[in-house]
Chains A and B, each alone.
Chain A
Amino acid sequence: MAKITREDVAYVASLAQLSLTPEVQERLLKEMGDILQYMDKLNELDTAGIEPTMHALAMTNVFRDDVVGPSLDREHALMNAPKTDGEYFLVPKILDTE
């Protein structure tokens, strides 16, 4: 595989919603480069025709009866939120309505 670049690190950080300082990005460039190079080992294996393990257990759908059961009430759902108005979670403005 191609070696991970500075641009890749910055792009992946934006996908992961992390804002990293230039020093941390440099360190990650080296660490991720080493780890990914180690992972390239898997390319030694011919996996043509091998099914990927998509499920840890061979199970099909697990159904339950379609009836309303007890669930978290509003008070408990909101109790750990950093900011609420007592009814909703509050976040900084998302859309500019002007």
Chain B
Amino acid sequence: MTMPKTLNNLTAHQIHDVLRAGSVTATEIAEAYFKRIAEVDPKVLAYVDVWREFGLAQAAKVDETVRRGDDPGPLAGVPIGLKDVLCTRQGYTTCCSKILKGYRSPFDATVVQRLESAGGVFLGKLNMDEFAMGSSTENSSVQVTRNPWNLKCVPGGSSGGSAAAVAADECVISLGSDTGGSIRQPAALCGCVGMKPTYGRVSRYGLVAFASSLDQIGPFSKDVEDLAIALNVICGKDPHDSTSADLPVPDFTKSLRQDVADITIGLPKEYYTDALNAEMREKIEAAIAVLQKLGAKVVEVSLPHTDYAIACYYIICTAEASANLARFDGVRYGYRSPSSGDVHDMYSNTKTEGFGPEVKRRIMLGTYVLSSGYYDAYYLKAQKVRSLIRRDFLDAFDKCDVILAPTSPTAAFEIGEKTDDPLEMYLSDIYTISVNLATIPGMSMPCGLTKRGLPAGLQIMAKPFNEETMLRVAYSYEKNRGFEMGAPPIGARAR
């Protein structure tokens, strides 16, 4: 194998090959990525912390292992970025919140440990909406990440930094977290692949909690093969997370087959209405046609409680967030208000000064729906509706193997376009949040560019713990869709 022309658009499986062929070292690859970050990140603003020294040391270790002739691991030398919601001993873990500024985690999240043991090379921490609350990464207390396809547009959120970094070739694989679409929606808006595995598939130990019954960690990548490789590393039971499922983890790379002849695709009639943007609909229908041509059958299914998902979701997630975020009180870690007074003043001044507006709004909503007199009307009611939404999906999966839908009702919107109206921002999550409520897996992959040159995302959903079927459909589509996404212009094509 010869030296690749550029080291900046390699996939993890290509790195696997060139590294073992000895044509490139992990150190050369890491250097190329740090150089790329220095060149484009001042425009994209995906990273909040770059770990040059640390990443190069990890790369040197991989090179040493290769030189010794030992197996350096499935992700050896692969440059990886981590959402700032994951605890890392290296650098800082701040959730892009002022209240955690300067926080150094005394431990690594399980997923971070697993990636490192697999030979991954960490490049740094990635921007996000504060505490993962948002759909545009505009709620970060650090900076607003730009969409590499058009710098005037948002990258989506909350894992906007993770999606933008992969799209802009500032890393090969990244990790994000998804509570209501925070992996899939930014993956769609930035034109990369992203998956929220089934709740319980990946350990959440070391993931700073937002809404514990909905949160899940998942990977971003440039193609479906890399997604499978990353899943093989991060999935599986962890004694540190009692909600991680004690189920065998398959070899997900075995699902990389162009074979959908036995697959029935379900199209929920509630998703394909006039409310769906016409251009987006056209892209999704073209993707479905590709799979039909390969032999997949298509049936209409119904998810009758779709209209109630957003209301249900924002009751449950704000309730859980208000409980989870109560721990940030200025006592054990994080910011403490310097203003004087008794301990109660200290608590309230710390929270008031430390949290941003969206986080405070959600704490207020969550506290309200859990408060005496309203608990049954809001929280308990929402938990019952959640059961109905889950049942809708399980009923639909009696008739089909996967459900195909748009990931987002529109392509990337402009920075500032939706910041004045929180409810409007919430409504943009319509196609993603049901997946979290139903605890099923979901992924997004690119299915073309709009006339404005912005990526459109195809969402695939499957039965609980059936990521394999999802990957098989995704791989078959990717290999037969008949176009390459290519590289984003990073501003060159901006209006």
Name A's B-contacting residues (CB within 8 A): 1, 4, 8-9, 11-13, 15-20, 28, 31-32, 34-36, 38-45, 47, 50-57, 59, 62, 64, 72, 76-77, 79-83, 89, 91-94
From the candidates A8, A12, A57, A92, name the one contacting B346 in the complex (CB within 8 A): A92
Query: Are A32 and B365 CB-contacts (below 8 A) given A50-B384, A56-B200, A56-B243?
Result: yes
From the candidates B336, B351, B382, B423, name the one contacting A17 in the complex (CB within 8 A): B351
- In this assembly, does B348 line the interface, its C-beta being within 8 Å of a C-beta of chain A? yes
Tell me which residues across on chain B come within 8 A of A47, comparing CB atoms: 381, 384-385, 388
Name B's A-contacting residues (CB within 8 A): 103-104, 106-107, 199-200, 213-214, 239, 242-243, 245, 305, 307-308, 310-312, 314-315, 322, 326, 329-336, 341-349, 351-352, 355, 360-361, 363-365, 367-369, 371, 374, 377-378, 380-388, 390, 422-423, 426, 437, 439
Tell me whether A79 and B106 are in contact (CB under 8 A). Answer: yes
Please measure, in the bound complex, the distance between the C-alpha atom of A28 and the C-alpha atom of B199, giving whole angstroms. Answer: 32
Q: A86 to chain B: closest CB distance in Å?
A: 15
Q: A76 to chain B: closest CB distance in Å?
A: 4
Tell me whether B368 and A34 are in contact (CB under 8 A). Answer: no
Q: Is the interface of A mostly helix, strand, loop or mixed?
A: loop
From the candidates A28, A44, A94, name the one contacting B361 in the complex (CB within 8 A): A28
Tell me whether A91 and B346 are in contact (CB under 8 A). Answer: yes
Please measure, in the bound complex, the distance between the C-alpha atom of A94 and the C-alpha atom of B252, giving whole angstroms. Answer: 55
Q: A69 to chain B: closest CB distance in Å?
A: 9
Q: Nearest A residue to B241 by beta-carbon distance?
A: A62
Q: B432 to chain A: closest CB distance in Å?
A: 16
14 interchain pairs (CB within 8 A)? Answer: A16-B367, A17-B344, A18-B351, A18-B360, A20-B360, A31-B361, A42-B308, A42-B311, A43-B381, A52-B380, A53-B437, A55-B213, A57-B200, A81-B332
Please measure, in the bound complex, the distance between the C-alpha atom of A24 and the C-alpha atom of B388, giving whole angstroms. Answer: 36
List of 10 A-B pairs having minimum Cβ-Cβ separation, nearest first: A52-B383, A80-B333, A82-B336, A76-B106, A47-B384, A62-B242, A53-B386, A56-B213, A16-B367, A50-B384
Tell me whether B308 and A82 are in contact (CB under 8 A). Answer: no
Instruction: Count chain A CB atoms within 10 A of each CB in B239, B352, B380, B390 and give the residue with the most.
Output: B352
Please measure, in the bound complex, the distance between the C-alpha atom of A2 and the C-alpha atom of B70, giving whole angstroms. Answer: 68
Tell me whether A16 and B387 are in contact (CB under 8 A). Answer: no
Tell me whether A15 and B371 are in contact (CB under 8 A). Answer: yes
Tell me which residues across on chain B come within 8 A of A42, comparing CB atoms: 308, 311-312, 315, 378, 381-382, 385
Tell me whether A89 and B312 are in contact (CB under 8 A). Answer: no
From the candidates A64, A72, A80, name the one contacting B334 in the complex (CB within 8 A): A80
Please measure, in the bound complex, the distance between the C-alpha atom of A17 and the C-alpha atom of B200, giving whole angstroms. Answer: 32
Q: B169 to chain A: closest CB distance in Å?
A: 34
Tell me whether A45 and B333 are in contact (CB under 8 A). Answer: no
Q: Nearest B residue to A21 by beta-carbon distance?
A: B352
Query: Are A1 and B243 CB-contacts (below 8 A) given A17-B351, A79-B106, A81-B333?
Result: no
Tell me whether B106 and A50 are in contact (CB under 8 A). Answer: no
Please measure, in the bound complex, the distance between the C-alpha atom of A59 and the C-alpha atom of B243, giving whole angstroms. Answer: 8
Tell me whether B387 and A53 are in contact (CB under 8 A). Answer: yes
Tell me which residues across on chain B come within 8 A of A8, comparing CB atoms: 368
Tell me whether B336 and A12 are in contact (CB under 8 A). Answer: no
Please measure, in the bound complex, the distance between the C-alpha atom of A19 and the C-alpha atom of B344, giving whole angstroms. Answer: 11
Tell me whether A92 and B342 are in contact (CB under 8 A). Answer: yes
Tell me whether B311 and A53 are in contact (CB under 8 A). Answer: no
Tell me whether A16 and B386 are in contact (CB under 8 A). Answer: no
Tell me which residues across on chain B come within 8 A of A35, comparing CB atoms: 314, 365, 422-423, 426
Tell me whether A41 and B307 are in contact (CB under 8 A). Answer: yes
Tell me whether A13 and B364 are in contact (CB under 8 A). Answer: yes
Query: Are A51 and B387 CB-contacts (below 8 A) given A32-B368, A39-B311?
Result: yes
Query: Are A20 and B213 CB-contacts (below 8 A) given A12-B368, A15-B371, A42-B312?
Result: no
Query: Are A72 and B106 CB-contacts (below 8 A) given A17-B347, A42-B308, A42-B385?
Result: yes
Q: A70 to chain B: closest CB distance in Å?
A: 11
Tell me whether B106 and A77 are in contact (CB under 8 A). Answer: yes
For the complex with contacts A35-B314, A94-B343, 4 further pairs of A-B residues with Cβ separation under 8 Å are A11-B371, A47-B388, A56-B199, A92-B342
Please measure, in the bound complex, the distance between the C-alpha atom of A4 and the C-alpha atom of B242, giving whole angstroms. Answer: 38
Tell me whether B311 and A91 are in contact (CB under 8 A). Answer: no
Please measure, in the bound complex, the distance between the C-alpha atom of A17 and the C-alpha atom of B352, giving whole angstroms. Answer: 8
